[in-house]
Amino acid sequence: MIKSLLRSICFKTGMFQSLYLKVCKPGNAEYTRYLKKFGRLHAIG
């Protein structure tokens, strides 16, 4: 329940990134989606 709430807050606002990484432990695809959404992804490969 906490994970889903934190995940939804992070994906809506972009806040609490470090907490999101520690608590939710996102996979590669999910974290890449997060970075793309907030423009912090520079390049892959």
Number of domains in the chain: 1
SS3 3: helix
pTM: 0.72
- Number of C-beta neighbours around residue 10 at 10 A: 21
Asked, for residue 24, whether it belongs to a domain, the answer is yes
Mind listing the pLDDT tens digit for each residue in 1-45? 889 999 999 989 988 989 999 999 999 999 888 888 887 777 777
Residue numbers of the domain that contains 29: 2-37
Asked, for residue 45, whether it belongs to a domain, the answer is no
Residue 4 pLDDT: 92
Asked, for residue 6, whether it belongs to a domain, the answer is yes
Asked, for residue 28, whether it belongs to a domain, the answer is yes
Residue 14 pLDDT: 87
DSSP E strands: which ranges in the chain?
none
Residue 8 pLDDT: 92
Question: What gap in Å lies between CA 10 and CA 16, rounded to an integer?
Answer: 6
